[in-house]
Amino acid sequence: MLQEESDISLIIAQIVQKLKGSNLYAQLERQAWASLQRPEIKLESLKEDIKEFFKISGLFPLPSHPAAPPEHLKEPLVYMRKAQGSWEKRILKSLNSMCTELSIPLARKRPVGEQKELLNKWNEMGTDEPDLSLFRPVYAPKDFLEVLINLRNPNYENGDSLSFRTHLGLIQVPLKVKDIPELKECFVELGLNTGQLGIDDSTQVPPELFENEHVRIGQKVLAEQDSAAAQQYIRQGSPTALRAELWALILNISSQPEDILYYEQLKTNVIQHDLLVDSLIYKDVKLTASNDDYYFVFEDYLYQVLLCFSRDTSVLNHFAYNSASPPKSYIRGKLGLEEYAVFYPPNGKILSINFFLSVAPLCFLYHEPSKLYQIFREMYVRFFFRLHSISSHPSGIVSLCLLFETLLQTYLPQLFYHLREIGAQPLRISFKWMVRAFSGYLATDQLLLLWDRILGYNSLEILAVLAAAVFAFRAVNLMEVTSLAAAEAVLADLSTLKVMPLLQIFLFATVT
Amino acid sequence: MAGKVKWVTDIEKSVLINNFEKRGWVQVTENEDWNFYWMSVQTIRNVFSVETGYRLSDDQIVNHFPNHYELTRKDLMVKNIKRYRKELEKEGSPLAEKDENGKYLYLDFVPVTYMLPADYNLFVEEFRKSPSSTWIMKPCGKAQGKGIFLINKLSQIKKWSRDSKTSSFVSQSTKEAYVISLYINNPLLIGGRKFDLRLYVLVSTYRPLRCYMYKLGFCRFCTVKYTPSTSELDNMFVHLTNVAIQKHGEDYNHIHGGKWTVSNLRLYLESTRGREVTSKLFDEIHWIIVQSLKAVAPVMNNDKHCFECYGYDIIIDDKLKPWLIEVNASPSLTSSTANDRILKYNLINDTLNIAVPNGEIPDCKWNKSPPKEVLGNYEILYDEELAQGDGADRELRSRSGQSLGPKAGRSRDSGRTVLTTWK
């Protein structure tokens, strides 16, 4: 901080120096001298009075420009905002109708006996067997994809004639996406001449060449607690042993007593009140996480984190820059009265199916619930929320889809065209990978290497690049399939893929 | 004929049969001329028994050593290890060094164990020293978790007391013998659950000792959250990780079967505990496997017709210390999930590649030194011949420093020559 302050004073001093020779300064000085005659200026508070005088005299109007309306911070394009709005209405309607159908309140206070029971079972909610057959997920990625496919910019006219510039993919909005030369510039640290974890730490490469030095630098970064350096460092991947700390450093998470207290408070909220969305979360985790080869062990952590997440109102803050808005509900009987409006769920986020996949990989790094929770929440409000809302942001899901399709169409045109012809639009297969940031599809160690780069580059674009790289890798097999089902089968199992070589080859070793 | 290997088995498992068939081997019966016999442990007893046994010819190989039970029976394993430790102590070997409490520094890898009823009084003495401890009773000759129970009161094992007037425990035959071991009630938990490690170790010869470890071991998780609470001592789902037991639990999952790969475990431990302690843990695991083999090597009948693939069960406690629980001569070849089937199929495949070189009719006079390329997912755990090539002083230096030299960190290396720095 001290460094910053002295920097700023230095800059101010420099500006003052420059101003001294200008006309403006002469004017100011003259006015100041003249104002000394005025009665409001007193000797004791000379500095303040003169400042006040300048302000109200209107001599020097304060520089200003019309402030951007808050909606623009969320999403500058109107048609995107509208689309997000109607998508939200749909979700809410679905939730409300399920609620009415099942006659279950959106929220209710738990009776004391039930509270005690839940508290006892807090660490093993996985053993519960409530009847969840009537609950349906509110929405699935497929539904979301359909909405994205139908997005249109009303100001944009494609023209009827097909040309080589026509985009053949599913996404039909004109957003700017990077091409490979631009991606190469952006992801320069992934280049062939730079050491990477995920490539240069494989068993055939002697650790003296890269790995040992990289680990040493990582330890230094952690010792200095330099968040910006950590972000730069992690672009080359994080050593397994340092990853937990590095991520915490980059995300600015430090476990202070107040954080632990906050988590405990959330836990209490879960115990005291039962939300309808809780059952949805429960069913989702039960059916899917408990069957996952890697994540089944952490089933109980997933319940804890997700239930607390639903109660966390601090998450509402991120809606300032999220194109989405939290669904509002009203206390029974007070429909429409703003004083009785609440956000439902309290954190404003209705979760899609398999949402737990964003949490599960983190269980490999953090076994303390409150720290796990904080890391997850920060990852969500920085990155993952963009995968669930309609926006024009370069890391938003719309841009990622478009980036993926464009890369494929531009650099693998034959494959793209073939798949399109057989009714297997590539996005239909890769969408589920991207919307889950590949969690549940890659082996855990590979996934963590990928998420290292998300943190390092502060962008999700790498997900689209990886998706395209996977298609490129399996291109030969894909060229031979004749149906969507067969294409899905070729791409069903990604668990043996090594992420970094794929990315490197696609970006840096393919003739473009 | 043209030299096709003739095989027999009395274990009808597809992972075995598929492997034989894929090599183009010919199935025959036990009474015919066979080259390769994958036997159950009952059969091996007959083959090598004094009365009914027969001599094996040079072109016949079997998958068990005649007296494998020296390692695979719980009581004999402990006996052999205790004897081995005493011998080293007598020799004044630095391996047998003890700490101030009288515990072996490098050879304390089996929980305190006594045979019942033979050591009953010794056990009682030990029990009284720490009366709040829990002990686990295991029948010597059974497998799959059968007949195991936990006790924390002397009254629960009154039957085995030799002095007991009301003893209804009549049979003195070794089949009914039990071992009682100190129960490890602080196991390392992941996700709140207890797990153990199953590692496969192939031994092609005991003298000189040559053994290989399968890289793809796995962890078996309990379905229920672990609790050391005494009220749950009877709940076998909490304490026993055998799949045969867990399979019947309510929460048993048939897709992944409650298993993790060892590499997953390694990733988790490195991420949450750090590189050094994880590497140390895995080095210790290799160490205890080799020591256990060395302990039985002198008494093992090193019949040249034999090889054996053992299933080692290891538990890690919350101080990241590994404990050898037992060694299985017939590790289960049943597959509980699809992944499991693939793993066991590959295990047999790699085992056969090492034991029966080139898939041709074996000649048991060969030097049992397969080329590196056929190892598959095995890596050399210990090769006594190679190790003897190096100087003896290397071992002293490395062991007393509890580190395995500069190459110790490269545990992912193929070739594993680093392990031969200790003898």
B357 three-class SS = helix
Write down the pLDDT at residue B244: 57
Distance from CA of A110 to the nearest CA of B (A): 25
Question: What is the structure's pLDDT at B423?
Answer: 34
pLDDT at B5: 86
Give me the total of CB pairs closer than 8 Å, taking one residue from chain A and one from chain B: 67
Cβ A272 vs Cβ A96: under 8 Å: no
Provide, as residue numbers in chain B, all residues whose Cβ is less than 8 Å from the Cβ of A127.
Answer: 224-225, 251
Residue contact B275–A297, C-beta within 8 A = no
From CA B4, how far away is CA B21, in angstroms rounded? 11
Position A422 pLDDT exceeds 60: yes
Best mutation target, A296, A299, A371, A442, to test chain B (most B CBs within 10 A): A296
List CB contacts (< 8 A) between B275 and chain A. 239-241
Q: Is B264 on the interface with A (CB under 8 A)?
A: yes
Q: Is the ipTM of this complex over 0.90?
A: no
Q: Which residues of A touch B379 (CB under 8 A)?
A: none
Under an 8 A CB cutoff, do A290 and B253 touch?
Answer: yes
A300 with B253: Cβ contact below 8 A: no
Average the pLDDT over B112-126 and give the result.
85
The DSSP output letter for B419 is: G
**Inter-chain residue contact A294 with B272, CB threshold 8 Å:** no
pLDDT of amino acid B397: 40
| B206 vs A115 pLDDT, higher one | B206
- For residues B310 and B200, the answer to whether their CB atoms sit within 8 Å is yes
Interface mutation vs chain B, best among A214, A364, A449, most B CBs within 10 Å:
A364
**Looking at residue A57, what is its pLDDT?**
65
User: Is residue A406's pLDDT more than 90?
Assistant: yes
Cα-to-chain-centroid distance, residue A132: 30
> Which residues on adjacent β-strands are paired with residue B380?
B212
**Nearest-CA distance B345 → chain A (Å):** 18
DSSP state of B365: T
Q: Which of A127, A301, A366 sits opposite B191 (nearest CB)?
A: A301
Give all strands (DSSP E) within B28-134, no chain letters.
36-38, 61-62, 113-116
**Closest-CA distance of chain B to residue A285, Å:** 14
Residue A449 C-alpha, separation from nearest chain B C-alpha, in angstroms:
12
The shortest CB-CB distance from B264 to any of A127, A301, A444 is to A444
For every residue of B280-292, DSSP letters joined together read: HHHHHHHHHHHHH
CB pair distance less than 8 Å for B264 and A294 = yes
CA distance A303 to chain B (A): 12
At B220 the pLDDT is 87
Q: Which pair of tokens denotes residue B177? A: 């013998």
Q: Mind listing the pLDDT tens digit for each residue in A351-380?
A: 777 778 888 899 999 988 889 999 999 999
pLDDT surpasses 70 at B42: yes
Mean pLDDT rounded to a whole number for chain B = 78
Contacts of B241 in chain A (CB under 8 A): none
Note whether B87 contacts A: Cβ–Cβ < 8 A.
Answer: no
Q: How far, CA to CA in Å, does B32 sit from each of B8, B19, B48, B60, B368?
A: 9, 21, 18, 12, 26
State whether the Cα torsion A387-A389-A392-A398 is positive or negative.
positive
Instruction: Tell me whether residues A365 and B256 touch, CB distance under 8 A.
Output: no
Q: Residue B312: name the closest of B294, B325, B298, B300 by CA.
A: B325
Q: Do A365 and B271 touch (CB under 8 A)?
A: yes
Whether B191 sits inside 8 A of A244 (CB atoms) is no
3-state secondary structure of A276: helix
**Tens of pLDDT, residues A145-199:** 998 988 888 887 766 666 666 778 888 888 888 988 899 989 988 888 888 888 8
Note the pLDDT of residue B50. Answer: 72
pLDDT tens column, A427-452: 999 999 999 999 989 999 999 999 99
> What distance in Å separates the CA atoms of residue A255 and residue B73, rounded to the nearest whole number?
49
Distance CA B300, CA B308 (A): 12
Point out the residue among B225, B270, B410 whose CB comes nearest to the CB of A240: B270
Closest CA to A167 of A387, A393, A420, A391: A420
Q: Do B271 and A123 touch (CB under 8 A)?
A: no
| Chain A positions in Cβ-Cβ contact with residue B278 (cut-off 8 Å) | 241
Span A465-489, mean pLDDT? 93
Q: Per residue in B97-116, pLDDT tens? A: 888 877 788 888 998 888 88
HEC secondary structure over A319-386: HHCCCCCCCEEECCCCCCCHHHEEECCCCCCCCCCCHHHHCHHHHHCCCCHHHHHHHHHHHHHHCHHH
Chain A: give the shortest CA distance to residue B256, in Å: 5
Task: Indicate the SS3 state at residue A441.
Answer: coil
CA–CA separation, B322 and B188 (whole Å): 10
Find the helix packing angle between A369-382 and A257-272, rounded to 10°.
Answer: 90
Average pLDDT on B242-246 reads: 59
Higher-confidence residue of A203 and B190: namely: B190
Q: What is the H or E stretch that residue B266 is in? A: helix B262-273
DSSP string, A141-152: HHHHHHHHHT--
How many angstroms away from the CA of A494 is the closest CA of chain B?
Answer: 15
Identify any residues that bridge with B149 across adjacent strands, giving them in sequence order: B137
- Cβ contact B251–A239 (<8 Å): no
Residues with Cβ within 8 Å of residue A47, at least 6 apart in sequence: none
pLDDT at position A415: 94
Whole-number Å distance between alpha carbons of A195 and A201 = 9
Q: Do B256 and A203 touch (CB under 8 A)?
A: no
Note whether B229 contacts A: Cβ–Cβ < 8 A: no
Restricting to B residues 303-362, those with a Cβ less than 8 Å away from any Cβ of A are 339
- Hey, are the CB atoms on A207 and B274 less than 8 Å from each other? no
Burial level of A204, CB count in 10 A (0-12/13-18/19+)? exposed
